[in-house]
Structure 1
Amino acid sequence: MAPSKNTISYAYPLCFIFILSTTTLSVAISTSYSSRCSSPSPASDYHTDYVDTLALLRSFQISIGYFSSGGNSLFSADDDYVNPRSFSFVPHGVFRTKDPTIIHLTATLVLSGPRSSTYIGHRHHRYSITQTISFILDGYYSFTSNDLCMVGFGTNYAADGSIKLHEDSVLRLRVPRPSKLTNPLVTGHLEGTNFETISLVAYDESDNYVYSENALCPPFMLENSMLEQAQAVKENFNCDQLKTHLRRLYKLEYMVDDPLAPRGYNMWSHATRMYINHVHCTANGAVRAYVEFYNDTKMLPYKGRFMVVEEALVADGYWDPTTGQLCFNACPIVRSVSGLSHTDFVVQDCKIKMSFRFVDVWTIRDRSVIAGMLWNSSQGIVNNSRAIPGIISVSGIQEHWENISHVKYTYTVVDEAKKHYISSGLSNKKKKIKGSFPGNGTYSYHDLEFRFIANHVGSGDAYPMTIGSMMVYEDRLAANDSLSDPMVVGMKHELLNVSYDIRYYAPLENWIRPKNGSYSISLHERRISAEGIYDRKRGTLCMIGCREINSSTDCLVLITVQFSSLDAKTQGHGVGAISSLREKNDRLFFEKIDITLYGMYTEQLFEAISRMDMESIMLVLSTTLSCVFTILQILHTKKNPEVPPATSITMLITLALGYLTPLVLNFEALFLSRRKQYVPFFRNNRVELNEVMLRVPTLIAFVLHLRLLQLVWYGRKPDHQSKAETFSIAKRKALQICLSLYFLGGILAGIIHIINVHTRRESPVVVRISQEPATIWEDLVSYAGLILDGFLLPQIILNRLSGSRVQAISPWFYIGVTLIRAMPHVYDLFRAQNYIPSLRSSYIYANSHDDLFSAAWDIIIPLGAALLAMVLFLQQRLGGASLISLQGSRLGSYEMVSTI
């Protein structure tokens, strides 16, 4: 589409203003450059061709760096995990000058970091937001001194929303050209008149890098088995694939007591994690990277960020196609105390060697797609031996989303697990077995997954990695859900080899539960890799596990699990224990951890999904019938003029609120999938009724009740004035009685809730494997459901007080709505006998949050609702006070009193 004339007419002035402002800015910056930058000296621009310009622009670009020191007036003093400090440098103009050693640059520097803000509401609350400052800069770079100096100004939004200007800003960077292993960092600082000096550092990203000499890996690093594994990958070098595998978090394991450098070289003495960041490589197999070290297993690195940590390395090396290894030379980086100059970061002696290999075979001790070692080359190398001082084993921590289809698993401690299984008596064949367990024929490997509660405090998950000879790691590799292949399952044997990945959160091992029952604890992640046997006939799992602790691996851990049978109608999934096989005086010994499993088997899970579909249909059907009965009552009201005055407005308001409440409370879940919340790995393609479809009939029923309420409110008055006064007085009295009863019931519900909460606090050892305890608001909502069950009570009280014999309520309405309110309780009795409750609330129809449901309430409420319907039937046939002998107590007797 061609631009309109108006657009063209506005475009010319805007372009002219932009060119004029840019020219003025360039002149202003050029004028201030000489006064702020002593070197490099400015020079006249020279013609630069297109290809040269692109190459220069790429060579000076910095996508991610880190700034520190100063800047506290612009950013928070402390770094923030959510909003870390970072900067980017994007050149958008470059020109050769008449001096071949100097180039002219224009660029944008963007600083991004945390800034504290205060939310003013009922109370002051401080939180962190991202502050961004952009600097427009102009200056010169010298290839001789590697110095870049630029001047300009910056802008950002102040706290009040106004634009803040930072004039006379000066950027000084040292950009090595070419960069190399001993000089790979871009360092410098930014100065301004209204903020403190800010230090900058980044890992050089340009292709203008000179790699060091080839780092040859020693022969002992590859055994024969490793050489066989390397055959599949040694010929094909793919830079992108290498970046994907290499750039990750690693765990470190020290092979000797004196880590890495017994001769005064004490780096990484406390580091337990390593993160390889900013990987760059070339087509010929040259690779370089920035490596960070952490001493906190809970600390997660800033993925995609450049971080200045206490311990770091820069490394470069080459891919060895003959052995399928990646070998590095590495240099430690140490922060100096020389102030704000470019000497803030010093690269020390490059005596560290690193070697990495791709792993094709997993065991209980090594389950990473890439592994390697670090060592100090100054301490010498002993061929054909692993007894090297200071050697560190490196294993990449597995990422859940990776493709590991090329990996095979080798069992190494299965025989030991069998011995413990037999010696423990778990395999006692004389013990009677009730029910069937996963593995007796066709079954889903999801049945062997389980979630558990550890020692009534922590919680965790366990996923099978292999079942028999099949790799099924968290649904990544299994061809289908069913494991019925005899070659895989091993139908001739009761015991099936399995391996697991177990992760759970628990307190520190020396933590003791307070006796007063009130405590707050910090949970720490634990990981166990395990393998062993699974008895398919008894549903028993017995495994030997390895856990990481204090930078070492403890492989004397016993895990036992007893699954519940497939046909068990219980809520729990089974029980188990994690215990240590060491002596009590061993420093790695830990007390036994009892675990309680929860969850559902696959067959039970699909039954639950089918039940949810059926309950969705039942909910829509019941609400639709409610709409039909309401329409019949509207027609009955319009047809009979005496009905509106005799109808209880309190009853209609109660019913209307009953339909309005779920619409308001569930509004945020209207567009969420119940199935995905209930079970994330559900993959059935059947049509699902979401919350919108379920709530549309409810909305219609609410509108119809408003219409019915309108008809009753503005309905015709009785023919006699005395009758009008009688109904008016009776309605007010009925409202007072109902509100009093509802208020007293609400107080009673609150007292019961407090008693239940107190009981739970007094018994902290009770394990809850159902949904979380109800809040006071949820209990009151359930009590409101009880009020709806007795929706006829206000009408019965009105009839009793007025003595009316008018058939105000149609039989279709009060009988139909009574059945609608009673059916969920009848269904709940059936559901309790045929379905297994789950950890998460999956009830759509007869939801415990909407009413009171239990074995007692499911009998009391339908009987009570039927009784109220029977009383209303008799009142409308025999009179409002016909069931009570005290006729004079009704308000209708006031008609007999003379007003003279």
Structure 2
Amino acid sequence: MDSLALSLFLFTIIYHNTFSSYASHLSYTDYCASVVPNSTPNFSKFKVFPPSQLHHGYYIGGIYRRDGQKHFSLEIKNAHETDVAGILYVGAWFTIRTGTWYHRVHHHHENMWNNNHFPRFLTFSLDGFWSESSGMLCMVGTETDDTPQLELLEVVLKLYNVVSSRRNISTLITGSLESTSSEHEVSYFEPISLFIFPTIDYEFTLDAKETKKEYAGEGEVIPGFPINPVRFCSNISSMIDDIYDLQYQSECNAAKNCSPIGGDANKLPSYMSVNSLVCSDVKQRVKILMEFGNYNSGSRLSFHPNSTLVGEGWWDEEKNQLSVAVCHILGMEESIISVHVGDCSTRVSMRFPMIWSINDASSIMGHIWSIKSSGDSSYFKRIVLKSHQDKREIISGIKYEYRFLEKVRKYCPRQRSLKNKGIGYPDVYSSDMKFDMGVEYREQIIAWGFSIPFAVNDQLLNLDQNSAPNSSHTQQFISSNSSLYNVSYQIGLGLTLDAKLGEKKSLFSATQIDVDFSAEGIYNAEAGTLCMVGCRNLGSQNQIPTTDFLDCEILVLFQFQQSKSKNSGAYIRGSIKSMRNNSDPLYFNPLKLNTIVYYITKGDQILRKVYMERIMSLVWTTLLCVFVAFQLYHVKRNPDTVPLIFFVMLSITTFGKLISLVLNFHSFFSQNDYAKKKHLFGEWLALTEVSVMIISMITLLLLLQLLKLTWSARKTGIIHKGLLIAKIKKVLCVIFPLHVAGLLCALLVFRNSTTDV
């Protein structure tokens, strides 16, 4: 008993001394007395902090310049009674995720960003007081991290509405984190606004029966999957925590009467992210946080109260959908103390469709709308939401429904099956059905793309690999032939950076460099043909894809090449063309498609061609050198034959060899060109080029010697003119047919090579 009393006495002395020394350095009275009065803590009387021991929240402003999720946590480490009833002394750890922080320093009336930056996480040790009656918490403290390049950070934390009663959808804790340094100091940072959505002791208060009638105006929707009530929370959280693409009515050209969050009249949110906060398996309810943003604004997934909504959702067993009543965060234009949750006039529905199609292939679909009258300033038109992430692996039993098989039969040519022993085409479930490709126009690659099988017959394929589904097919095949399959594809094309769009009727444009297709059709496994009808969205990314904004007059053809080896890869050639008339404004010029394997094969062919050319050049140069050497040996033994040498042809040959040698020298001494060839074709080809250059130099010297002897013999020797002409005619009769034959062979080879490409 005595030892316990001694321990409590020492603990009290240590705590009291620590708080006293700390308070003398950073005075609580100077920064917090006006919020919660200073009291004398009784360190021998421990208390449990009534609101919660741990809080997680979001923040805005301050020194965090990068976009992204801005999180912080407040962990209560101890709480003690004080000499004033209803006031507790509280110690806590405050941890904030910083990313990259920069100091804004005021120097000579100018704002400058200091190059020093904080670590990724900062932790502060805080002490202060909490008032139960006002719900205010004020604390002061310093950072605990050892950051030698920075001065010690001293801060003041103020939180409002930290109540001990049960929380509901309107409960929101707000506050601020401020620096105690002056503006000209390096350790100063601008104030940070804090937002906490409490999750402990949460009470769902919205009346589902009262708001259920507000969901009657959705019209006909695709039936959704039911959800297991036993594991409601685990299932619903894994499904709805996602990013959703928003699609507006076609007449929404500005934010007026279209945006669920107001704001800039020229910018509609392009996505909505959902994060579940609290869930109840018994009541089948969930509290969610909805954040709206724009893909192109640079503020993706960045919290801001003006674009954040909080809501309560319940599972509607009759419609198999999650119905959510959503509220706004108001009062930001005034002060952080006045921020509150209100205006719960927004409704959201989410369902998990049982049937997917070419235009409706999303794991989650739903709507967002306002229940206010159309004349209200905050009213907005109904918005379609579709999950951005494909979660088909989580949902089992999804069926695919084809819409354009009749059109496929009309436009796709029938191919005969080519049955050759040992030669076949890819199985419909093999990995060769998924391929990357290049897009050609006028023999130039203008884009790269991909083709991924989405469904075979009425069964969706797995995301990671193509595999045959275990369940039986419920939709009939297009014929009794087992080699014919209904297939659906997702196709994406992206324009290259150096592509030139000189044509008006191009699939691409300066504002649309990426084109995505959804296509469905028929794969003939015996003929190796894949013929599909595709659809592309013509409107902006934020418009509902109605028939007015979809172009489904697109024909996609692929022809698989026969392969003897299973590991040789898929060699596929194809095309994308418009089925519209040339005068139609939606018509675009046809494009050729080739798989990446084609370009790899083509590159191998070019490499083999280069090797062959260098070998032939080496052989030809060596033979020429040998023949010229033999010629010199012959004229030395028979000097009387020197005047009979055809001087003009010898001069042309010598001059041609000189030009070739000069070009080879230029290539050799150009380090960039030599290094490029060495990198592309290897050491052997570079060595061959050097050998050709050396042999060419020797040949040139021999030709110059022969030319000199011929010229000297012509000047000093006597030869009959008629005999010389006769000799020249004989030479021409032999040389001319050989040159003509060589030219014809070259033309024939060139013609065959162009027809094969």
Same fold (TM over 0.5): yes
SS state of the match for residue 35, structure 2? coil
Judged with a 3 Å threshold, the aligned counterparts in structure 2 of structure 1 residues 163 and 378 are, in CA distance, closer, same or farther, namely closer
What does residue 562 of structure 1 align with? 558
**Separation in 2, partners of 1:265, 1:405:** 33
Task: From 107, 114, 121, give the equivalent of 2:92.
Answer: 107
Q: Which amino acid aligns with 1:171?
A: L
Q: Contact (CA 8 Å) 2:571, 2:595: kept in 1 or not?
A: yes
Partner AA of 1:353 in structure 2: R
Q: In structure 1, what is the equivalent of residue 35 of structure 2?
A: 39
Q: CA deviation at 1:354?
A: 0.9
Shift of 1:440: 6.5
Q: Alpha-carbon deviation of 1:226?
A: 4.9
Residues of 2 paired with 1:214 and 1:275: CA distance? 25
**How much has 1:132 moved relative to structure 2?**
3.7
- Show the counterpart of 2:726: none
The answer to whether the Cα contact below 8 Å between 2:432 and 2:569 also exists between their aligned partners in 1 is no
1:399 is the counterpart of 2:385: no
**Match in the other structure for 2:262:** 267
After superposition, give the CA deviation of every residue in 1:598-639 in whole Å (9 maximum; x if it has no partner).
Answer: 1459xx99xx9xxxxxxxxxxxxxxxxxxxxxxxxxxxxxxx
- Larger CA deviation: 450-459 vs 243-252: 450-459
Amino acid in structure 1 at the alignment position of 2:359: R
Tell me the equivalent position of 2:152. Answer: 165
The amino acid of 1:547's aligned partner reads N
Which residue among 349, 353, 357 is the counterpart of 2:351?
A: 357
- Aligned to 1:165, what secondary structure does the other structure show? coil
Alignment-derived partner of residue 591 in structure 1: 588
Shift of 1:412: 2.4
Aligned 8 A contact 1:529 1:547 in 2: no
Residue 103 to residue 356, structure 1, CA distance change in 2 (3 Å): farther
- Counterpart AA for 1:478: S
State which of 471, 474, 489 in structure 2 corresponds to 1:500.
489
Aligned ranges for residues 102-141 of structure 1 at < 5 Å? Answer: 102-111=87-96, 112-115=98-101, 130-141=119-130
Contact 1:254 1:393 in 2 (8 A): yes
Amino acid at match of 1:564: F
Assess if the C-alpha contact under 8 Å between 1:315 and 1:328 holds in 2: yes
Cα–Cα, structure 1 residues 561 and 298, in superposed 2: closer, same or farther, change >3 Å?
farther
Distance 1:250 1:463, change over 3 A: same
1:49: how far off? 9.7
**Structure 2 residue aligned with 1:748, among 663, 667, 670?**
667
Shift of 1:313: 1.6
Provide the residue aligned with 1:323 in structure 2: 319
Distance in 2, Cα, partners of 1:362 & 1:48: 65
Select between 523-532 and 537-546 the one with higher mean Cα deviation: 523-532
In the alignment of these two chains, the number of paired residues is: 573
Cα pair distance change 1:166/1:452, threshold 3 Å? same
Does structure 1 retain, via aligned residues, the 8 Å contact 2:323–2:350?
A: yes
Q: Is the 8 A contact 1:359 1:369 kept in 2?
A: yes
> Following superposition of structure 1 onto structure 2, how do residues 291-306 of structure 1 map, counting pairs within 5 Å?
291-296=290-295, 301-302=300-301
Q: Which moved more, 1:745-754 or 1:456-465?
A: 745-754
Is the Cα contact below 8 Å between 2:424 and 2:563 reproduced in 1?
no
Residue 539 of structure 1: how far off its partner (Å): 0.8
Unaligned segments of structure 2, at least 5 residues: 1-8, 104-114, 183-187, 605-662, 693-757
SS in 2 for 1:107: strand
Counterparts of 1:877-892 in structure 2, within 5 Å, are: none
Give the Cα separation in 2 of the matches to 1:502 and 1:243: 30
SS at match of 1:464: strand
For residue 248 of structure 1, report the CA deviation from its aligned partner.
0.6
Displacement of 1:514: 11
Partner residue in 1 for 2:372: 378
Give the alignment partner of residue 545 of structure 1, picking from 520, 535, 539. Answer: 535
Give the one of 255, 280, 287 matched to 2:278. Answer: 280
| 1:485 to 1:260, Cα distance in 2 relative to 1, 3 A | closer
- Where 1:114 maps in the other structure, the secondary structure is coil
- The corresponding residue for 1:92 is 77
Partner of residue 446 from structure 1, selected from 408, 431, 440:
431
Rounded Cα–Cα distance in structure 1 between residues aligned with 2:118 and 2:503: 38
What is the distance in 1 between the residues matched to 2:255 and 2:204? 25
Distance 1:359 1:781, change over 3 A: closer
Alignment counterpart, residue 174 of structure 1, candidates 157, 160, 184: 160
Aligned partner of 1:539: which letter? T
Report if aligned partners of 1:505, 1:523 keep a CA contact under 8 Å in 2: no
CA distance 1:746–1:271, shift in 2 (3 Å): farther
Matches of 2:679 and 2:496, distance apart in 1:
35
1:260–1:391 Cα contact (<8 Å) kept = no
Structure 2 vs 1, CA of residues 371 and 781 (structure 1 numbering), >3 Å: closer, same or farther? closer
TM-aligned CA distance change 1:251 to 1:162, over 3 Å: closer
* Closer/same/farther in 2, CA of residues 154 and 440 from structure 1, 3 Å limit: closer
Mapping of 1:645-660 within 5 angstroms? none
Distance 1:748 1:296, change over 3 A: same
1:247 aligns with 2:233: no
- Alignment counterpart, residue 418 of structure 1, candidates 409, 413, 421: 409
TM-score with structure 1 setting the length? 0.54
How far apart in 2 are the matches of 1:782 and 1:129? Answer: 49
Q: Which amino acid aligns with 2:272?
A: M
Q: How far does the alpha carbon of each residue in 1:542-583 deviate from its partner, in whole angstroms, 9 at most, with x for none?
A: 123243741122432324122232239999521221648599
Bigger helix fraction: 1
Q: Secondary structure at the match of 2:235?
A: helix
Q: How many Å separate the matches in 1 of 2:572 and 2:11?
A: 70
Residues 393/436 of structure 1: CA separation in 2 closer, same or farther (3 Å cut): farther
The Cα of 1:353 is off from its aligned counterpart by 0.8
SS in structure 1 opposite 2:344? coil
The corresponding residue for 1:737 is: none
Cα distance change on mapping 1:400 and 1:355 into 2, 3 Å: closer
Deviations 1:151-192 (A, max 9, x none): 11225555xx4452124x211122443544344353323232
Amino acid in structure 2 at the alignment position of 1:496: Y
Q: More displaced, 782-791 or 146-155? A: 782-791
Aligned to 1:622: none
Deviations 1:311-336 (A, max 9, x none): 22221232234433221111233573
- Alignment deviations for residues 351-397 of structure 1 (CA, whole Å, 9 cap, x no partner): 1111112222212222222221111101389xxxxxx9711111111
- Distance verdict in 2 for CA 1:44–1:436, change over 3 Å: farther
Q: 1:613-666: CA deviations, max 9, x gaps?
A: xxxxxxxxxxxxxxxxxxxxxxxxxxxxxxxxxxxxxxxxxxxxxxxxxxxxxx
Partner of 1:763: none
Aligned 8 A contact 1:443 1:484 in 2: no
Q: How far off is 1:57 after superposition?
A: 4.2
CA gap 1:151/1:256 in 2 versus in 1, 3 angstroms: same
Question: Is residue 409 of structure 1 aligned with residue 400 of structure 2?
Answer: yes
* Residue identity in the other structure for 1:597: N
Q: CA–CA distance in 2 between the matches of 1:524 and 1:205?
A: 44
Let me know the Cα RMSD of the aligned residues.
5.1
* Contact 2:202–2:278 under 8 Å retained in 1: no
Equivalent AA in structure 2 for residue 329 of structure 1? A
2-side partners of 1:489 and 1:478: how far apart? 21
- Alpha-carbon distance, 1:449 to partner: 1.4
Q: Does 1:191 align with 2:110?
A: no
Report if the CA contact (8 A) 2:425-2:528 is conserved.
no
> Which amino acid is the alignment partner of residue 213 of structure 1?
L
One-letter identity of the residue aligned with 1:319: W
Q: Distance in 2 between matches of 1:523 and 1:130?
A: 40
Out of 359, 369, 377, the position equivalent to 2:363 is 369
Is the CA contact (8 Å cut-off) linking 2:12 and 2:43 kept in structure 1? no
Distance verdict in 2 for CA 1:257–1:92, change over 3 Å: same
Query: Is structure 2 residue 154 aligned with structure 1 residue 152?
Result: no
Deviations for 1:417-474, whole angstroms, at most 9, x for unmatched residues?
333x2xxxx4055x89797999969554322212123453332222111111332143
Q: Kindly indicate whether the alpha-carbon contact (under 8 Å) linking 2:45 and 2:80 is maintained by their aligned counterparts in 1.
A: no
- Structure 2 residue identity aligned to 1:317: G
